[in-house]
Structure 1
Amino acid sequence: MKNYEEILTDAGIEIPADKKDTIKKAMGENYKTVEDYNKASSARDKYKKDLEDVQTKLDGFKDIDVEDLKNQIATLTTDLNNEKTARAAEAKKAEIEKTVGTFLSGKKFVNALTEKSIKNSLIEELDKDSAKGKSIEDIFNGLITGEDGKQMENILADDVGSGKKAHFTTAFKGSGTGGTLTKDDFKKMSLDERIKLKTKDPELYKTLS
């Protein structure tokens, strides 16, 4: 492809040497070569096609409810977070149960009911924020220690046959003579209270039940 100087020379027109720079500058500012034109046209065609592609994609979203889509995303995000929280809670519970099981494996209880009650109470206490900084031994001792600071009887098998009578807290104070428990008092007890009563005084529990 010939440039403008070659074209003018072929036509018998000679550009004065002192005018070449001026003409070259003017030609560059006002005219483009075929190559430059083709490049510009190609870029323009590409932009046009890209715009049409984007418009086509946007047209595909015309019938979509954007607000509903946002709500679905929010719901899924919440469900995912809840699932993560639930899994973390389950993992924590499983770890606590394993720890309690290992700890209690070396303990001998008077019966399975007592062991189950203590185990559940220990798991519950370890899952509380108040358990931070405490050892499982400390929490266990707190569960089997009465208000008088002494270990409650009829919980661990070592206490059986000691001849000592269990001490009751005011929670077991009945309406009978001298504050003794009656069968009516027993009927009003919750399951947890009955378990505690059976743990502390199996004979009284048997009589009232």
Structure 2
Amino acid sequence: MQNIEAILKQFGLEVPKEQSEDFRKVFHENYKTVKDYEKVESDRDKWKGQAETAEETLKRFDGVDLETMQAELDTWKQKAETAENDYKQKIYDRDFSDALKTEMESIKFSSEAAKKAVMTEIKESGLKLKDGKILGLSDLIGQIKERDASAFVDEQSEKAKQQAARFTTPGTGRSTGGTGIMTKDDIMKIKDPSERQAAIAQNLNLFGKGE
């Protein structure tokens, strides 16, 4: 784009050099280029459009009770918070149940009903889950065992029964004289004290008083 001095020169008009600076100053103070006017016009149209949009938006609020609107906004905000908290609680409950199920796999219960009752009590106890572990679970299970031992399998008693069964069942590999029934001598030859006591308990008839 040509400046004003070049345009004037095309028409045979020339500003003296000593007045050139003053001429440019006066010119720019009083006139704008087409580009300047186009920018102003563009800015005017943009702000005009925004003003019209704002006016249309405000028209939609005509007759609206602002207090009612605020109350509705607060209600929806509360509903959103409640939904978010419910979601977090469901995730927590799921993780708690998974952790509890894993812990219960190592415990023997007397029945499935007993297991469900114990798990329900644990869930309702208020114990907290942290890093995949249920805090205070061992202590609570210990308290439940003291209060209701029948809900659990007595592992020591169970072990003794299993060991005793080994000595009264044919084909155990122990010497029973070929009859499948242990004799007093067979029992006394058992080296493991716990096994020997279990065998004695199963064959008390072989051990009279004073023997």
Equivalent residue, structure 2, for 1:156: 152
**Structure 1 residues not aligned, in runs of 5+:** 147-151, 162-209
Equivalent residue, structure 1, for 2:80: 80
1:17 and 1:54, CA in 2 relative to 1: closer, same or farther beyond 3 A? same
**Structure 2 residues not aligned, in runs of 5+:** 158-211
How far 1:86 sits from its partner (Å)? 2.2
Q: Report the AA paired with residue 88 of structure 1.
A: K
* 1:7-156 alignment, distance < 5 Å: 7=8, 10=11, 15-105=15-105, 106-109=107-110, 114-125=114-125, 127-128=126-127, 134-145=135-146, 153-156=149-152
Once the two structures are aligned, what percentage of the paired residues are identical? Answer: 20
Q: Report the AA paired with residue 87 of structure 1.
A: Y
Equivalent residue, structure 2, for 1:197: none
Aligned residues: 152
**What is the TM-score when the length of structure 1 is the normalising length?**
0.53
- The separation in 1 between residues aligned to 2:134 and 2:98, in whole angstroms, is 19
Residues 12-64 of structure 1 deviation map (CA, whole Å, 9 limit, x = unaligned) = 76533322221221111122244433443343344333322322232233243
Which consecutive aligned stretches of 4+ in structure 1 deviate over 6 angstroms post-superposition?
Answer: 130-133
How far 1:141 sits from its partner (Å)? 0.7
- Compute the RMSD of aligned alpha carbons: 3.8
Q: Report the AA paired with residue 127 of structure 2.
A: K
1:138 and 1:51, CA in 2 relative to 1: closer, same or farther beyond 3 A? same
* Pair member with larger Rg: 2
1:15 and 1:75, CA in 2 relative to 1: closer, same or farther beyond 3 A? same
- The separation in 1 between residues aligned to 2:129 and 2:15, in whole angstroms, is 98
The answer to which structure, 1 or 2, has the higher relative contact order (CA under 8 A, 6+ apart) is 1
- The separation in 1 between residues aligned to 2:96 and 2:14, in whole angstroms, is 99
